[in-house]
Amino acid sequence: MKNRYFRSSLIVTTFLTASLFATAQNTATPLPANYIHVSAPMAQRLTVATKQKHPEIVKLGLHATPPSASDNAIIGSDAQAKVGKKSSDKDMKKVAEAKPQAERIEKDGIYDLFLPLSDAKGRDIGQGFVVMEVPFKNADSPEQALKIGEGIRNEIQRQIPSRDALYKQ
CA distances from 42 to 28, 46, 152, 159 (A): 26, 6, 17, 10
Q: Please count the CA atoms within 13 angstroms of the CA of 66 that sit on its side-chain side.
A: 23
Q: What letter does residue 85 receive in the DSSP assignment?
A: B
Strand partners, 76: 62
Does 107 score more than 90 pLDDT?
Answer: yes
Q: How many CB atoms lie within 10 A of CB 63?
A: 27
159 Cβ neighbours under 8 A, 6+ residues apart? 46, 120
* pLDDT attached to residue 63: 98
* pLDDT attached to residue 5: 52
* pLDDT attached to residue 157: 98
**Amino acid identity, position 129:** F
- How high is the mean pLDDT of the chain? 88
Q: Are residues 84 and 35 in contact, defined by beta-carbon separation less than 8 angstroms?
A: yes
Q: Indicate the domain borders of the chain.
A: 1-30, 41-167
| Rounded-to-integer distance, Cα 148 and Cα 130, Å | 13
Does 153 score more than 50 pLDDT?
Answer: yes
Please tell me whether the overall predicted TM-score, pTM, comes out greater than 0.85 for this model. no
* pLDDT attached to residue 2: 55
* pLDDT attached to residue 17: 41
Q: What is the mean pLDDT of residues 128-140?
A: 98
Of 7 and 69, the one with more pLDDT: 69
Confidence of residue 119 (pLDDT cuts 50, 70, 90): very high
Find, among 109, 114, 140, the residue nearest to 129 by Cα. Answer: 114
Task: Classify domain 41-167 at the CATH topology level.
Answer: Beta-Lactamase (3.30.450)
